[in-house]
């Protein structure tokens, strides 16, 4: 759970000191030190007067820079949007976090417009992945939130996930990343990318942290499903998501599956031919690219020089996708979702590698071709869950003192509480090896 010891001011000051460390460079697009300290002091005063303390009183957090906070500019990682006026009101999820006692210490860095999974940003800098001694990518687009958690600046942070943007940086940085079911958390007050899949998510040190923050920001109360099945039956996806895996990823995921099996879980390989169709459906561009262009076509064209050129390439490519192609993708998507749901009937969830690779060097993905290739490979596995409308979580599964690897556990949409309960059991088993 997310609790503090001592005063709210002490907790916030400690978080801000950790945010000042050299390894935290570029984690934030803007800091809220003065505001956070003022809120902490007010929280301490209120508690001393005998007021009932909210459940997460004084817990520092940080919020991805595509979420509105009253009085602050929502840049979505772009210098173009930095020219906009400040938000007039908090996004609903920010209101809920405040009411629960969380104190925001800053807006976290992200890929420009949340339009890539690498996590680099030429405007605000690229946060360094703290799991490595050399300079490696953090993953994105929720790069700053993942690094903030990995460095211990905060115990849990807000991200967003359109094609894996919570689970990918969680996997690469060695933290836990939860993507709820699409629609479980309102997107109001969040700068959009693709309205059909945009999802607010949580990055935290563990499953309990994700569950606690999700319970605060979700639209509807939980179902009370707090216990996993006695003998879960899990599908291990055997096609598509197993292609081109790093040896380190393959070894860690296979070993994790062995641990779960040894602990009494029933694991069975399962082929999902439906997901093999995804590249063919997107051969002329993805649904996210189409939807992203529709949003950004009034903002980016004519200002390309002010944007990340690698992101601009993806945005403009979305403008070349015919409306009828997009409509065909969406029709087939609904059919594939129904077919996959039938195949998964009888399973309590399914497993796969969260990403195909571990974090590459930042220098290795600077050029556009390398960037786009790496981006596509990072997105491949995580996007399956968004495309199918599922909820999912990435759990660290690597052996001790090795590069972070994420084990993805997912379920049919709407089973968020069951997923988190099962994930807590899986986490406990995995931690025995680490």
Average pLDDT over residues 171-179: 98
pLDDT in the model for residue 48 = 77
With bands split at pLDDT 50, 70 and 90, how would you rate the model's confidence at 227? confident
What confidence tier does 156 reach under pLDDT thresholds 50, 70, 90?
very high
Residues 6+ apart with CB under 8 A from 222: 215, 416, 417
141 is catalytic: yes
Whole-number Å distance between alpha carbons of 256 and 431: 10
- Of the candidates 78, 141, 143, 145, the residue annotated as catalytic is 141
Answer yes or no: is pLDDT of 378 > 60: yes
For residue 202, pLDDT over 80 is answered with yes
5-8-9 Cα angle (round to 5): 120
Nearest to 183 by CA among 158, 152, 148, 219: 219
Which residue in 426, 408, 117 sits closest to 261, CA to CA?
Answer: 426
Per-residue pLDDT tens over the stretch 240-249: 999 999 999 9
Please, what is the average pLDDT of the chain?
Answer: 96
| Gap between the Cα atoms of 161 and 151, Å rounded | 21
Order of strands, sheet of 60-64, starting from the edge strand that comes earlier in the sequence? 28-31, 103-108, 60-64, 156-160, 200-204, 176-179, 391-396, 406-411, 349-353, 233-237, 266-270
Q: 263-273: per-residue pLDDT in tens?
A: 999 999 999 99
Q: Which tens digit of pLDDT belongs to each residue from 18-27?
A: 999 999 999 9
Q: What would the mean pLDDT of 7-28 be, rounded to a whole number? A: 97
Q: How does residue 280 score in pLDDT terms, banded at 50, 70 and 90?
A: very high
- To the question of domain 8-217 being in CATH 3.10.105.10, the answer is no
pLDDT in tens, 104-126: 999 999 999 999 999 999 999 99
Is pLDDT of 199 > 90? Answer: yes
- Percent of the chain at pLDDT exceeding 90: 95
Provide the greatest CA pair distance for the chain: 63
Tell me the pTM.
0.97
Q: Is 394 a catalytic residue?
A: no
Is 145 catalytic? The answer is no
Is the pLDDT at 306 greater than 60? The verdict is yes
Identify each DSSP E strand in 315-403 by its residue range: 349-353, 391-396
For residues 320 and 255, what is the distance between their CA atoms, to the nearest angstrom? 43
**Beta partners for residue 406, in sequence order:** 396
What ranges do the domains of the chain cover?
Answer: 8-217
Kindly name the residue from 78, 143, 145, 165 that is annotated as catalytic. Answer: 165
Per-residue pLDDT tens for 67-103?
A: 999 999 999 999 999 999 999 999 999 999 999 999 9
Mean pLDDT of the 200-226 span: 92
Per-residue pLDDT, 434: 56
pLDDT greater than 80 at residue 189: yes
Q: Where residue 347 falls among pLDDT bands split at 50, 70, 90? A: very high
H or E stretch covering 348:
none
pLDDT value at position 224? 63
DSSP for 379-398 reads HHHHHHHHHHT-EEEEEE-P
Cβ pair 202, 158 in contact under 8 A: yes
Nearest one of 45, 40, 19 to 30, comparing CA atoms: 19
């Amino acid at each position: 759970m997310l609790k503090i010891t001592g005063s709210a001011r002490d907790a916030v000051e400690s978080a801000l000191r950790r945010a000042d460390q050299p390894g935290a460079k570029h984690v934030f697009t803007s800091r809220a030190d003065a505001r956070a300290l003022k809120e902490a002091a007010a929280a301490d005063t209120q508690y001393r007067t005998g007021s009932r303390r909210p459940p997460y009183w004084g817990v520092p957090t940080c919020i991805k820079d595509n979420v509105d906070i009253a009085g602050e500019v929502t840049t979505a990682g772009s210098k173009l949007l930095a020219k906009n006026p400040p938000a007039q009101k908090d996004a609903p999820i920010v209101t809920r976090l405040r009411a629960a006692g969380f104190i925001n210490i800053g807006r976290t860095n992200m890929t420009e417009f949340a339009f890539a999974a690498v996590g680099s940003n030429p405007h605000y800098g690229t946060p360094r992945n703290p799991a490595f001694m050399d300079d490696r990518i953090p993953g994105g687009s929720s790069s700053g939130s993942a690094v903030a958690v990995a460095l211990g600046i905060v115990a849990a942070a807000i991200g967003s996930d359109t094609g894996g943007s919570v689970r990918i940086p969680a996997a690469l940085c060695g933290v836990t990343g939860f993507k709820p079911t699409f629609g479980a958390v309102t997107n109001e007050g969040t700068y959009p990318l693709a309205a059909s899949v945009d999802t607010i998510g949580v990055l935290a040190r563990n499953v309990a942290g994700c569950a606690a923050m999700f319970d605060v920001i979700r639209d509807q109360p939980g179902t009370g499903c707090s216990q996993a099945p006695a003998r879960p039956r899990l599908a291990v996806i055997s096609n598509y998501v197993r292609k081109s895996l790093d040896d380190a990823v393959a070894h860690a995921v296979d070993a994790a599956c062995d641990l779960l099996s040894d602990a009494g879980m029933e694991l069975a390989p399962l082929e999902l031919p439906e997901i093999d169709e995804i590249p063919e459906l997107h051969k002329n561009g993805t649904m996210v690219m189409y939807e992203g262009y529709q949003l950004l076509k009034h903002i980016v064209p004519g200002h390309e020089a002010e944007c990340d050129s690698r992101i601009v390439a993806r945005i403009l490519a979305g403008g070349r996708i015919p409306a009828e192609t997009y409509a065909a993708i969406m029709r087939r998507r609904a059919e594939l979702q129904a077919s996959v749901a039938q195949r998964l009937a009888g399973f309590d969830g399914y497993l796969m590698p969260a990403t195909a690779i571990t974090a590459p060097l930042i220098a290795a993905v600077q050029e556009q071709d390398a960037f786009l290739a790496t981006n596509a490979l990072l997105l491949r596995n995580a996007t399956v869950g968004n495309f199918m409308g599922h909820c999912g979580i990435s759990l660290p599964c690597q052996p001790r003192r090795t590069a972070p690897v994420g084990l993805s556990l997912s379920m049919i949409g709407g089973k968020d509480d069951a997923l988190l309960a099962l994930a807590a059991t899986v986490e406990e088993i995995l931690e025995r090896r680490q």
